[in-house]
């Protein structure tokens, strides 16, 4: 019987986005959030590191807005920093109510 597979959206700073297909148990996370900003019910980012060093996935990043999360994966520490730097301004803006005065 074939092992169930999963597909992960993987960001690598050098190669951009790709789809990584792996066995269900090949990539595991310690289920401990190592870094976060904000609240998932409003707008936030959460980062969990992978447990296996043999995996091409370094971390799982979940971007939350109003309780709905979108999961992406990154290949290494530099890719993690670049991805968080890219999405953080938008997450921060969504968490803060800004009212523009139009005259």
**Residues sharing a CB contact under 8 Å with residue 35, sequence separation 6 or more, in sequence order:** 45, 46, 47
Q: How confident is the model at residue 53 (pLDDT cuts 50, 70, 90)?
A: low
Kindly state the average pLDDT of the residues 39-56: 88
Q: pTM here? A: 0.83
Task: Tell me the C-alpha to C-alpha distance, in Å, between residue 83 and each of 24, 34, 62, 77, 96.
Answer: 24, 16, 11, 10, 21
Strand, helix or coil at 103?
A: coil
Q: How confident is the model at residue 52 (pLDDT cuts 50, 70, 90)?
A: confident
Kindly state the average pLDDT of the residues 68-95: 94
Task: Tell me the C-alpha to C-alpha distance, in Å, between residue 88 and each of 17, 82, 94.
Answer: 18, 10, 10
Task: Tell me the C-alpha to C-alpha distance, in Å, between residue 7 and each of 2, 20, 24.
Answer: 15, 6, 9
What's the confidence (pLDDT) of residue 46?
Answer: 96
Kindly state the average pLDDT of the residues 39-54: 89
Give me the residue spans of the domains in the chain: 5-95
DSSP string of 4-48, one letter each residue: PEEEEEEEETTTEEEEEEEETTTS-EEEEEEEEEEETTTEEEEEE
Indicate whether 2 pLDDT > 60.
no
């Amino acid at each position: 019987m074939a092992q169930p597979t999963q597909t992960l959206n993987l960001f690598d700073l050098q190669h951009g986005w790709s789809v990584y297909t792996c066995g269900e148990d090949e990539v595991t996370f310690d289920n401990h959030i190592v870094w976060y900003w904000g609240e998932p019910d409003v707008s936030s980012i959460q980062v969990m590191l992978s447990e296996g060093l043999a995996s091409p996935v370094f971390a799982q990043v979940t971007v939350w807005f109003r309780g709905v999360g979108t999961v992406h994966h990154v290949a290494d520490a530099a890719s993690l920093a670049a991805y968080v730097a890219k999405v953080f301004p938008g997450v921060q803006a969504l968490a803060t109510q800004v009212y523009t005065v139009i005259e």
